[in-house]
Amino acid sequence: MALLEVEDIRASYGLIEALHGVSLEVEAGEVVTMIGSNGAGKSTVLRSISGLTPARQGAIRFDGEEITHLTPMEIVGRGISHVPEGRRCFPRMTVRENLELGAFLRRDDSSAEMDHVFDLFPRLAERQSQAAGTMSGGEQQMLAIGRAMMARPRLLLMDEPSMGIAPILVERIYETIEQISQEGTTILLVEQNAHYGLGVAARGYVIETGRIILSGEAATIGEDPKVREAYLGA
Amino acid sequence: MSAALGKIKGFDQRFLVIAAILFAILLPFFFDRGSSFMDDAVLALAYVVMALGLNVIVGFAGLLDLGYVAFFAIGAYTMGWLGSTFYSQANGGEGVHLLVTGAAANLPGIHVNFLLVLVGAIILTTIAGVIIGLPTLRLRGDYIAIVTLAFGEIIGQVAANGDQVRIGGIWDKTLGALPLIPDLGSEATLTRGKLGISPVDKIDLPFVDPFTSLDIRSWYFVALGLVLIVLFVNVRLRDSRLGRAWVALREDEVAAISMGIPTVKTKLMAYGTGAALGGMSGAFLGSYLNTVNASQFEFIFSIFILAMVILGGLGSVWGVVIGAILLSFVNSWLIPDVLNGLPGQLGLDFDLTQVSFAIFGFILVIVMILRPEGLIPERSRKQEMHGIGTGDRAGAGSDVELGEAR
């Protein structure tokens, strides 16, 4: 049984259906990447899993239990953290305050997680009392990932961690994603940048206008001529 | 968070707070018990309580509320209903008396001890706060302002026309028929419209001489007590887990939801708490002003309290206290007593009191130009007003997305 099972979900914004039946699976310990262009429905898949845009039909199971209709709070409580599209750090709070909010649902002491996040991203440790809104895009992305890690998730959902970030920082962030994975956290990633997204993953899915059109080993997907043409610029 | 105040010119914050409280306690002994200064001071303290209540909703949680007067009205009517001869037919004309002494104990109508009225006002306004909160949960920004504005107007209109609403008959057949709950008599109405419920029972506390309109000092100390309680509540809330959840929701609702912050509960807590504080102040003012009438509950009052919060600094507890005291004294002393004749001396044919709300508007405009973050800003507001914006938020959700978020 996979850690996360998404079965034929449909989700809409108002009257417009964005997902027309999407299914996917993520095994415990895996890194899975979903690639697709703008508006394909990548973010909606993640938002459905984390309860921000609940699926209208279909089922989402985490660790064998159905979570389709749970509130975002309950879903975070079960161990799924969402690094939202566009980072969405709390701009006028300090780095430290942002991280503390990541552990909002945890009543125990979270200082060990804080230290861990500072180990993953030493840059954040240097800037812990700086207002998040004054940092660069890459630093804010680090903060958004760190904030999600504060909840000690079993599954980390990441929405385009490379978006709008200097290439050198993208490399740095992807190194850290690999490290997080090696430490045992399962990761579901969506990316437009197929090079980085598939590079870090074992398996991948390609989504187009709300449907999965291709799935398999990340390397195989990277070799697919259509994918190469559409997403790898080859 | 306390750093915001701690930074004031190197003074230790705790010292400042204790000094201010001591000053407030000693102040009345330098003025005559019945002086108009004491009258102004009591009003100022009552407004501080209201402004701190509104600050929870607007300042902490970032929900613009333009109908705060509704909670003043509900608190004041609780006092009017439970502490006057208004329901003179209640209990078959014998009246209801609960822990009251002095003159009120022998009058017809319902007379309940002030402390119990206070509890009743808190309960009623909290419920009202949650009711107004519910329809705003799916809204944001300006739309919340419109709904709350309408709510304030509805309560104001109900107050004004409540003298036509005979609740007595239906009350006696339903709730009044239950044991322990008095009947009201078939003539009983909801309010007394613009005529107002008057007189209202004076505050009646154990071990203290009965309150009178001539000795304002005792009223002052009750109001100061309310302020201290509400200040304590405000500071504790601000630094609590709930307080951080409010700030997170204010800064970025979607991110806050992703962190597992329960939006519904968190927002309703803000409305409920803010409303309860307004209700406390309303019950106090109902008794102190000795009348509960519909003309007290107009839209402009909501703006008056909101202006105090903005002047002091949205979300800043101490700023709001100062904003409320300043605007209250401008309203009840500076304009009517000091500058009122000014237009006349300049050969103009009006009194300054006629344009007092234009003056408040002017003060707000000046504040917006010179110090948009308020007199004593909360730290994050200061950053907001001085260009530390929302940063790089490429791809932040569209309105459709936001509307879907629970």
Say what the pTM is.
0.88
Q: Which helix (H) or strand (E) holds A203?
A: strand A203-208
- The structure tokens listed for A204 are 């991948």
- Looking at residues A144-158, what average pLDDT do you find? 97
> Are B390 and A91 within 8 A, CB to CB?
yes
User: Of B252, B380, B400, which is closest to A88 when you measure between CB atoms?
Assistant: B252
Question: Is A234 an interface residue toward B (CB < 8 Å)?
Answer: no
Would you say residue A188 has pLDDT above 50? yes
- Chain B residues with a Cβ under 8 Å from any Cβ in chain A: 241, 244-245, 247-248, 251-252, 254-262, 380-381, 383-384, 388-397, 400-401, 403-406
A87-111 burial, b at 16+ Cβ within 10 Å, e below that, comes to bbbbbbbbbbbbbbbbbbeeeeebe
Which residues in B lie closer than 8 A to residue A169 (C-beta atoms)?
none
User: Of B241, B255, B384, which is closest to A88 when you measure between CB atoms?
Assistant: B255
Which residues in A lie closer than 8 A to residue B247 (C-beta atoms)?
90, 93
Confidence band of A67 (pLDDT split at 50, 70, 90): very high
pLDDT of amino acid A20: 96
Q: What is the dihedral of CA A203, A209, A211, A212, to 10 degrees?
A: -20
pLDDT, averaged per 10 consecutive residues of chain B (406 residues), comes to: 47 85 95 92 98 96 95 97 93 88 87 96 97 89 92 96 92 86 89 94 85 91 97 94 94 94 95 97 97 95 95 94 96 90 87 87 91 85 60 35 33
pLDDT of amino acid A232: 75
Q: Are B125 and B276 in contact (CB under 8 A)?
A: yes
Centre a 10 Å sphere on the Cβ of residue B48 and count the other Cβ atoms it contains: 26
> Are A131 and B388 within 8 A, CB to CB?
yes
**DSSP state letter for B109:** S
**Percent with pLDDT over 90 in chain A:** 86
The interface predicted TM-score (ipTM) is: 0.92
Q: Which of B259, B264, B381, B402 to mutate to test the interface with A (most CBs of A within 10 A)?
A: B259
**Shortest distance, CA A117 to any CA of chain B (angstroms):** 16
Cα nearest neighbour of B391 on chain A: A133
- Looking at residues A82-98, what average pLDDT do you find? 94
Which residues in B lie closer than 8 A to residue A101 (C-beta atoms)?
244, 248, 256, 259, 261
Of B275, B28, B2, give the one whose Cα is nearest residue B131: B275
A with B: how many residue pairs have Cβ under 8 Å apart? 127
> Are B251 and A71 within 8 A, CB to CB?
no
Cα nearest neighbour of B382 on chain A: A92
Question: Is A96 an interface residue toward B (CB < 8 Å)?
Answer: no
> Are A136 and B383 within 8 A, CB to CB?
no
How many angstroms separate the CA atoms of A126 and B385, rounded?
Answer: 25
Which residues in B lie closer than 8 A to residue A77 (C-beta atoms)?
260
Lowest-pLDDT range, A15-19, A212-216, B100-104? B100-104
Q: Are B245 and A73 in contact (CB under 8 A)?
A: no
- The structure tokens listed for A105 are 């649902």
pLDDT of amino acid B11: 60
CATH superfamily for domain A4-231: P-loop containing nucleotide triphosphate hydrolases (3.40.50.300)
How many angstroms separate the CA atoms of B191 and B104, rounded?
Answer: 20
Using the structure block, give the residue that is written with the tokens 């079960």. A78
Q: What is the pLDDT of residues A158-173, one digit of tens each?
A: 999 999 899 999 999 9
> Are B406 and A77 within 8 A, CB to CB?
no
Q: Is B354 exposed, middle or buried (0-12, 13-18, 19+ CB in 10 A)?
A: exposed
How many angstroms separate the CA atoms of A203 and B241, rounded?
Answer: 40
Q: Are A82 and A144 in contact (CB under 8 A)?
A: no
- What's the topology of domain B3-387? ABC transporter involved in vitamin B12 uptake, BtuC (1.10.3470)
Structural domain spans, chain A: 4-231
pLDDT of amino acid B384: 65
